[in-house]
Amino acid sequence: MSEAVVDSTGQSGLPGVVAGTWVIDPAHSTVGFSVRHLMSRVRGRFTEFSGEIVVADTPANSSVTATIELASVNTGNDMRDNHLRTKDFFDVEQTPKMTFASTDVRASGGSWVLTGDLTIRDVTKAVEIQLEFLGVDPTGLQGEQRVGFEGHTSITRSEFGVSFGVATEGSKVVMGDRVDIHLEIEATLSE
């Protein structure tokens, strides 16, 4: 694990990462989630997404934006995935995209906290993503610079208007309200 460093001005930095725009590489990244179903957890991911990480000279001034195509949901079960695309869940015909736009980034010990606005079904809520900087490869796979991060957060899906199957008082939990989001991100420096 590579840790954030502090320079002589007291600013936290990402060792080896140059300022600029880094484009998320979906072929080497994962946007995944898990949610409780009865006594187990269902895991899934989105296969179509894009985003940019704009690294500033002072990392605390950096920003992240991302767009996820909700119709690309994949839990390994076609019937469940088709249900997730309906009005009961994502309503992809009316709101096909989930978006994230950062509002703050700060060092926290040897890792980072990324705060931003997550929008699902036209509802926007602030979320905090715990990030671990995995490092930078200055020569990448084909000579391009690459950077890696791993992140996680949890959201309450009913706060975004996705309340199908949420347990009511006295009923059994069919599907949990908390959704854990897992991110594994590789990005390349834009030319």
Cα–Cα distance between 49 and 106 in angstroms, integer?
24
Q: Is 94 exposed, middle or buried (0-12, 13-18, 19+ CB in 10 A)?
A: exposed
pLDDT of residue 110: 81
Average pLDDT on 129-151 reads 90
How do residues 67-77 score in pLDDT, each as one tens digit? 999 999 999 99
One-letter amino acid of 133: F
Q: Which of 46-60, 122-136, 163-177 has the lowest mean pLDDT?
A: 163-177
* Pair 27, 64: CB distance under 8 Å: no
pLDDT exceeds 60 at position 131:
yes
How many CB atoms within 10 Å of residue 140? 15
Answer yes or no: is pLDDT of 154 > 90: yes
Token couple for 170: 């006295």
Asked whether the whole model's pTM tops 0.85, one would answer yes
11-53 per-position pLDDT tens digit: 346 888 899 999 999 999 999 999 988 778 999 999 999 999 9
| DSSP letter (8 states) at residue 22 | E
Residue 191 has pLDDT above 70, yes or no: no
Task: Answer yes or no: are the C-beta atoms of 184 and 30 closer than 8 Å.
Answer: yes
Percentages helix, strand, coil for the chain (3-state, rounded to 5) are 10, 55, 35
Longest CA span, the chain: 58
Distance of alpha carbon 146 from alpha carbon 138, whole angstroms:
6
Let me know if 7 is exposed, middle or buried by CB neighbors in 10 A (0-12, 13-18, 19+).
exposed
Domains defined along the chain, listed by start: 5-189 (2.40.128.110)
Confidence class of residue 119 from pLDDT cuts 50, 70 and 90? Answer: very high
At residue 65, φ and ψ (nearest 5 deg) are -130, 150
With 90 as the cut, is the pLDDT of residue 1 above it? Answer: no
Counting Cα atoms < 13 Å in the Cβ hemisphere of 27 gives 3
The token pair at 28 is 């080497």
